[in-house]
Structure 1
């Protein structure tokens, strides 16, 4: 069912999954212990029904079709796997190492999105030192 949607809507769906996931992970500090897939889905569901422009463009018969939801679940899984497997850039690694030396910290990060979170956190802490 997802394949029948326009490329723009499919792209918007993917973007909303990425944005919602990264926002959720930032809220929980990228903590595996605090991660709850049901909470992520609840956050995403709220986002798509209140803020996403693409949701209203999908016909009701498509939204109510179980195959659509199965396809959507597969897309969510694909996007999350892609995010979690996208390695940090060399520039991110270098910047984080410099900041961690200044702050005498050792944050771990496994993907590019988590590196953004760690770098922002460290930059905020360095800013508080000044």
Structure 2
């Protein structure tokens, strides 16, 4: 069913999955112990029905089709798997090292590109506060 969707809708779907996952993980501070699939799916459903313009464009028959939602769930898992397995860039690693050194923070673990992005933004905010 997903294969029948337009390229634009499939791209927007992928971007939506990434956006919601990134927002959810930021909301729990990228603490894997706090990850709750039920809470993530609640956030996903809220986004899907209230913010995803691509979903609003689908016909009601597609939206109600269990096969569509099964395939969408598989796609969500694939995207999340890709996201958590995408290594941080060399630039991100260097930036985290620079920021932790300036802040006097010991090394801390980060496993993927999105998590590194989260920590860079967090550490930059921390540095701004420290300078104020």
Q: Same fold (TM over 0.5)?
A: yes
Q: Which runs of 5+ in 1 are unaligned?
A: none
Quote how far apart the aligned CAs of 1:104 are: 2.0
Q: How does 1:38-77 map to 2 (within 5 A)?
A: 38-77=38-77
> How far apart are the structure 2 equivalents of 1:107 and 1:116?
14
Which aligned runs of 4 or more in structure 1 are off by greater than 4 angstroms? Answer: none
Identify the residue that residue 87 of structure 1 maps to in structure 2: 87
Quote how far apart the aligned CAs of 1:57 are: 1.0
Identify the residue that residue 14 of structure 1 maps to in structure 2: 14
Identify the residue that residue 114 of structure 1 maps to in structure 2: 115
Aligned residues: 130
Per the alignment, in what secondary structure is the counterpart of residue 53 of structure 2? coil
> How far apart are the structure 1 equivalents of 2:124 and 2:57?
40
Contact 1:107–1:118 (CA<8 Å) still a contact in 2? Answer: no
TM-score normalised by length of structure 2: 0.95
Per the alignment, in what secondary structure is the counterpart of residue 98 of structure 1? helix
CA RMSD of aligned residues (A): 0.8
Identify the residue that residue 3 of structure 1 maps to in structure 2: 3
Q: Which runs of 5+ in 2 are unaligned?
A: none
> How far apart are the structure 1 equivalents of 2:72 and 2:12?
12
> How far apart are the structure 2 equivalents of 1:2 and 1:24?
24
